[in-house]
Amino acid sequence: MTRRRLGLLAAGLVLAALGGGALRGGIAPPEHRETLYVFGTLVEIVIHGRPQAEAARATADVAHLLETLHRDWHAWRPGEITALNAAIAAGRPAQVDARTAAVLRRGRELSCAAGGLFEPAIGALVGLWGFHQDAPPEGGPPDPAAVAALVAARPRMTDLRIEPLPEGGARVTAASRAPQLDFGGFAKGAALALAAEALRADGVEDAVLNAGGDVTVLGRGGSGPGAGRPWRVAIRDPFAWGAVASVEMRPGESLYTSGNYERFFEAAGVRFAHIIDPRTGRPAAEIASSTVLDTDAARADAAATALSVAGPEAWAQVAADMGVEAAMLIDGRGRVFATPAMMARMTPAGEGWPGPVAVVPLPPAATPVCPAP
Ligand code: ADP
Ligand code: MG
């Protein structure tokens, strides 16, 4: 495949607010922008239609929330999750706060719906492959025997018991010592969903939260009087700097992409990226990027990861099982697969698709038997 370059959306690659330029009577509409560094990425918060002071206060609330979640949920820096992981490994119960308990339940439900392809309990495998550090891992793949041993231990979210405590929070026990939590596959989505709630509670009706191209929108987009021109979000080309398509967002929607092009290492010419197939314990190899458009940010994030693992044959069944309607995948050869709902929402970018496009209708969902919340 040729390397493709694209000027059109490159400047606003992740996000181009169509309404951003609207002016009325020469007065710039109120717009407040701030960028934070959390969850290993830059998170841009854009608030429209609120007075500066209020928008600044709402942004500060969100910044505080996201920084707290980042600390609490970190997969390898000491915090609530590493403490929980240590307890599980030692066969002890642990206590978590109410917010973390809710995310654990959500993770368990999403993992079950994804047939275990999204599996936040595989932290030990993610660590073994060297992804529990900020820098890309160096050296080759881990010892296959060590990988096989972790796979054989079957770490699963469905092995967690999460019992609410009268004073709030929950007591977590695990049926085995294998689960090691790593929220990396859906932390951004879960956190941005909470951030969107916090913004609404602060009276913000129109805003965008953009975590390095993973985007959650509130409201109709645009700005100031006469607002309502939708936010347009670009989907990155996994093979070159640029976009393959863009999507006009509707109120409350999230667009999340998982890819093999950001966190990976190469050994002997083979790319090993950070999405691990829990069945093999090895990085998922076939999908270059997977994008989900959904009204639920945590599900969008989790599903983007799960569909990458599922690959070109099984992804549509997994999407259906997770309740996702709009998804698009690009495999390593540039072949594009999309659901009809996603196809209808995407505008291809200037240079078009990187390969042939297959529109794949969703099969009927299987109903997995998941443990009670
Ligand atoms: P990104 O963080 O680039 O948006 P993802 O949402 O796909 O990408 O998250 C990838 C992260 O999820 C990995 O770094 C790891 O922490 C975790 N992870 C890897 N494989 C899985 C999996 N099969 N299920 C759940 N989480 C996973
Ligand atoms: Mg994800």
Please tell me the least confidently modeled range out of 17-26, 93-102, 270-279: 17-26
Query: Mutate which of 182, 287, 307, 308 to test ligand 1's pocket (most atoms within 8 Å of Cβ)?
Result: 182
pLDDT at position 368, please? Answer: 72
pLDDT at position 29, please? Answer: 55
Question: Which pLDDT band, with edges at 50, 70 and 90, does 154 fall under?
Answer: very high
Spatial distance between the Cα atoms of 92 and 94, rounded to a whole number of angstroms: 6
The stretch 318-324 carries a mean pLDDT of: 97
pLDDT at position 291, please? Answer: 98
Q: Which residues approach ligand 1 with their CB closer than 6 A?
A: 75, 118-120, 122, 126, 131, 182, 184-185, 214, 258, 262-263, 274-276, 278, 301, 304-305, 309
Q: Which of 17-31, 36-50, 129-143, 172-186 has the highest mean pLDDT?
A: 172-186
Which whole-number Å values give the CA distances from 13 to 4, 241, 246, 260, 294, in the listed order? 14, 9, 9, 18, 20
Check whether 314 has a pLDDT greater than 80: yes
pLDDT at position 12, please? Answer: 34
Residue with the larger pLDDT of the pair 231 and 355: 355
Question: Which pLDDT band, with edges at 50, 70 and 90, does 262 fall under?
Answer: confident
CA of 215 to the centre of ligand 2 (A): 12
- Contact, 162 vs 108, CB < 8 A? yes
Check whether 24 has a pLDDT greater than 50: no
What is the separation of C-alpha 170 from the centre of its chain, rounded to a whole number of angstroms? 25
Ligand index nearest the alpha carbon of residue 280: 1
In the predicted model, what is the mean pLDDT of the chain?
89
- Contact, 193 vs 216, CB < 8 A? yes
